[in-house]
Amino acid sequence: MTHTLPKLPYAMNALEPHISERTLEFHYGKHHQAYVDNLNKFVKDTDLENKTLVEVIRASAGKSDMVPIFNNAAQVWNHTFYWHSMSPDGGGMPSGKLLEMLLASFGDLAKFEEQFKQAAISQFGSGWAWLVYEDGALKVTKTSNAETPLTGKQKPLLTCDVWEHAYYLDYQNRRPDYVGTFFGHLANWDFAAANLEDALKG
């Protein structure tokens, strides 16, 4: 199968003023597209050519001879998940089962917010901060470069991209400002809640 660039779930300028159309033109239109193009090139004429994206990620994870395949496949998936982790109507408060489990897992929302922001801000170099479901509880974790919870038993619910190309045009080196804006104005709690519902179904 040929992997394609998924459509954004909103217009290119829909996240303004928090994330600019110019950033999405580069981040989505250039970086994400390049990962798709490279993935198709690397899997061509291999056993992974007709596998789904998730199958490619899991088959190539940890394989020294498949690093380029894994990096590009995981980045295609991570970025698609990231776009859906944001909404023009994002921010605010989680609700329902998601809120219930956040309170049970972190004590209160302030502690969850602190842990998520700290994970995003403290990730050295490039990577991702994640809210995940694992063993009946919610956890905050972070991964470097293209690494993704998909390769383990954690179920991703929400992510924040902290590669510099995600925020540099708008925030320069002010990663904490970008992370605060993501959490306060963009985080798509409905998406996280839907992912939690799926995770609870097993």
Chunked mean pLDDT (size 10), the chain, 202 residues: 94 98 98 98 96 97 97 98 98 96 96 97 96 97 97 97 97 97 97 97 84
Residue 141, φ and ψ in degrees, nearest 5: -145, 175
**What pLDDT is recorded for position 202?**
76
Superfamily (CATH H level) for 21-84:
Fe,Mn superoxide dismutase (SOD) domain (1.10.287.990)
Nearest to 91, CA basis, from 26, 161, 155, 15: 15
Predicted confidence at residue 1, as pLDDT, reads 73
Strands 137-144 and 155-161 come out as: unpaired
Domain locations in the chain as residue ranges? 21-84, 96-200
- Structure-block tokens of residue 196: 């939690």
The domain defined by 96-200 folds into minor pseudopilin epsh fold (3.55.40)
Note if the pTM is more than 0.95. yes
Tell me how far apart the alpha carbons of residues 26 and 23 are, in angstroms, rounded to a whole number: 5
Q: How far is CA 178 from CA 89, 91, 197, in A?
A: 17, 13, 28
pLDDT value, residue 25? 98
